[in-house]
């Protein structure tokens, strides 16, 4: 590859790939329906929209997962004889160039990858990193280095099973990114069994699989593979855990030997588990314990993962990417450590997921004092129920269980939160869509 055109350049994963290709001396161009900050920061030609006319002298077209291969821009590239790669195929190609680590899982993969990046940096290994979020240590969502290659590997893409790394980490696995019966989409698995088979393929392709000892599904999927387990019942675990409002402290124990006190600057028991996954992956990659402890202590947190945005009328505002019931529950538990009244702006993400999990969202959100439910961020999907109807269903479910809740559109929610916020409480903006903009507007607009 000498010249590459990247479709969907504004996406966090696609812009990271573009940045890493630039590091290898590849000439990059791109396009996106709405080019923004990430695309512009690359300093290369980026066209608005998708059109065959965007293609010039490139030899390769990189296509994000949701775009069908019969798209006019893709068909034109094929007609010209250009190499067409899905983003996961390109990632697999890049990871194969050096000793590598890959992190996947339903929850925690971005944070765990970020922790591993911090550890590899502390070890002086000059890592190459691809992240599905923003990390100030890199800075941003990617880092080009001459050392080992580390990537977040998105399990929502069925092609992830073809990625080959030396150390494969799976943080957990739940029934997410599964298409409803009778429907197909390139960024969904056809069934839970297909998702499990893809995970097995990813783990089986590695020299060693790092999986949680407390996850029955992953234990079954990794049976018979060269694997290493973290958590109680595994070879690496945490003792004397102290969860604090700003982070946590615990004793890191490996095969009965105390490696030292680990300190985290990110709160919640779920981040202790993420740290164990990162630490064991680093040990499997033969990183010294001193670098592991230093890297965990240096890790500042990934953007949109319990990120403090500021205050409004004396209330703390926190932005978090949580968009699955398990993540929502974990984030609310972390927020409870603050000792503040917890109020939530919740934006469900994707129609198919919300149709499947709305009752689980109701259950997870009951840990809040109050919930404002926004219309579902559809991400281009269409379903029998509208984004508003689905969100109204969640609000009504919460009310039926005794949790104060209301359905509001974005502007109404902003006005309501701004007018009712008060000292002694925290407003959590939860979701993978544009609810993050509400958090920032709440703090920074009059």
Residue 380, C-beta contacts closer than 8 angstroms, at least 6 positions apart: 66
Average pLDDT rounded to a whole number, residues 228-243: 97
pLDDT of the residue at 385? 86
Give the per-residue pLDDT at 180. Answer: 75
Within this chain, domains 3-90 and 307-444 share the same CATH topology: no
pLDDT of residue 384: 81
When pLDDT is cut at 50, 70 and 90, the band that residue 124 belongs to is very high
pLDDT of residue 243: 96
- Output the 3-class SS for the chain: CCEEEEECCCCHHHHHHHHHHHHCCCEEEEEECCCCHHHHHCCCCEEECCCHHHCCCCCEEEECCCCCCCCHHHHHHHHCCCEEEEHHHHHHHHHCCCCEEEEECCCCHHHHHHHHHHHHHHCCCCCEEEEEEEECCCCEEEECCCCCEEEECCCCCHHHHHCCCCEEEECCCCCCCECCCCCCCCCCECCHHHHHHHHHHHHHCCCEEEEECCCHHHHHHCCCCCEEEECCCCCEEEEEEEEECCEEEEEEEECCEEEEEEEECCCCHHHHHHHHHHHHHHHHCCCCHHHHHHHHHHCCCCCCCCEEEEEECCEEEEEECCCCHHHHHHHHHHHHCCCCEEEEEECCECHHHHHHHHHHHHHHHCCCCEEEECCCECCCCCCCCCHHHHHHHHHHHHHHCCCCEEECCHHHHHHHHHHHCCCCEEEEEECCCCHHHHHHHHHHCC
Q: Is the pLDDT score of 446 beyond 70? A: no
Residue 304, both tokens: 């949109």
pLDDT band at residue 11 using 50, 70 and 90 as cut-offs: very high
Structure-token match 């995970």, residue found = 199
Q: Where are the domains of the chain?
A: 3-90, 97-177+202-298, 307-444
The model's pLDDT over 40-68, given as tens digits with 9 standing for 90+, comes to 899 999 999 999 999 999 999 999 988 98
pLDDT computed for residue 380 by the predictor: 78
pLDDT digits (tens, 9 = 90+) for 158-180: 999 999 999 999 999 998 888 77
pLDDT value of residue 184: 73
Q: Rounded to an integer, what distance in angstroms lies between the CA atom of residue 27 and that of residue 275?
A: 37
Domain 3-90: what homologous superfamily? NAD(P)-binding Rossmann-like Domain (3.40.50.720)
Domain covering 97-177+202-298 in this structure, CATH number: 3.40.1190.10
Q: How far is CA 90 from the centre of its chain?
A: 19
pLDDT of residue 177: 82
**Which residues, other chains included, contact 223 with Cβ-Cβ below 8 Å and sequence gap of 6+?**
none
CATH of 307-444, one of 3.40.50.150, 3.90.190.20, 3.50.50.60, 3.90.800.10: 3.90.190.20
Q: What's the whole-model pTM score?
A: 0.90
C-alpha 134/C-alpha 85 separation (Å) is 25
Give Cα separations from 146 to 93, 99, 150, 234, 371 (angstroms). Answer: 16, 11, 12, 32, 47
- The tens digit of pLDDT for each residue in 90-118 reads 999 999 999 999 999 999 999 999 999 99
CB atoms under 10 Å from CB of 184, counted, come to: 9
For residue 181, pLDDT beyond 80: no
Residue 182 has pLDDT above 80, yes or no: no
Tell me the C-alpha distance between 149 and 236, whole Å: 23
pLDDT tens-digit readout, 378-425: 987 888 889 999 999 999 999 999 999 999 999 999 999 999 999 999
- Per-residue pLDDT for 183 more than 80? no
């Amino acid at each position: 590859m000498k010249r590459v055109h990247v479709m969907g350049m504004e996406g966090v994963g696609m812009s990271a790939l573009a940045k890493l290709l630039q590091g290898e001396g590849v000439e990059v161009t791109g396009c996106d329906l709405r080019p923004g900050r990430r695309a512009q920061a690359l300093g290369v030609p980026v066209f608005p929209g998708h059109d065959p006319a965007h293609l010039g002298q490139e030899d390769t077209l990189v296509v994000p997962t949701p775009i069908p291969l019969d798209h006019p821009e893709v068909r034109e590239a094929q007609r010209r004889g250009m190499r067409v790669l899905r983003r996961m195929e390109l990632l697999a190609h890049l990871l194969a160039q050096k000793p590598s680590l890959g992190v996947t899982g339903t929850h925690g993969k971005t944070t765990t990858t970020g922790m591993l990046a911090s550890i590899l940096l502390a070890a002086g290994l000059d890592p190459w990193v691809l992240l599905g979020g923003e990390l100030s240590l890199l800075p941003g969502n990617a880092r080009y280095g001459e050392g080992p290659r580390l990537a977040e590997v998105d399990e929502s893409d069925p092609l992830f099973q073809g990625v080959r790394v030396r150390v494969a980490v799976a943080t957990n696995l739940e029934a997410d990114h599964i298409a409803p019966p009778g429907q197909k989409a390139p960024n969904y698995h056809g069934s839970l069994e297909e998702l499990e088979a893809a995970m097995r393929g990813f783990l089986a392709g590695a020299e060693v699989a790092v999986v949680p000892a407390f996850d029955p599904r992953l234990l079954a999927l990794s049976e018979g593979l060269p694997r290493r387990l973290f958590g109680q019942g595994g070879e690496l675990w945490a003792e004397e855990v102290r969860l604090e409002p700003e982070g946590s402290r615990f004793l890191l124990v490996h095969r009965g030997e105390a490696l030292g006190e680990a300190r985290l600057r990110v709160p919640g028991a779920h981040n202790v588990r993420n740290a164990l996954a990162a630490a064991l992956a680093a040990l499997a990659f033969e990183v010294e314990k001193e670098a592991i402890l230093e890297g965990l202590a240096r890790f500042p947190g990934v953007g949109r993962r319990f990120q403090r945005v500021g205050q409004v009328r004396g209330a703390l505002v926190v932005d978090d990417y949580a968009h699955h019931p398990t993540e929502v529950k974990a984030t609310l538990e972390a927020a409870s450590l603050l000792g503040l009244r917890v109020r939530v702006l919740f934006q469900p993400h994707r129609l198919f997921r919300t149709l499947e999990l709305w009752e689980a969202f109701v259950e997870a959100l009951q840990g809040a004092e109050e919930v404002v439910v926004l219309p579902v961020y559809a991400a281009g999907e269409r379903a029998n129920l509208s984004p508003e109807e689905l969100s109204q269903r969640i609000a009504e479910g919460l009310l039926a269980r005794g949790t104060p809740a209301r359905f509001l559109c974005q502007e109404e929610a902003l006005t309501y939160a701004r007018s009712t916020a008060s000292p002694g409480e925290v407003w959590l903006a939860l979701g993978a869509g544009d609810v993050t903009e509400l958090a920032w507007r709440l703090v920074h607009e009059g």
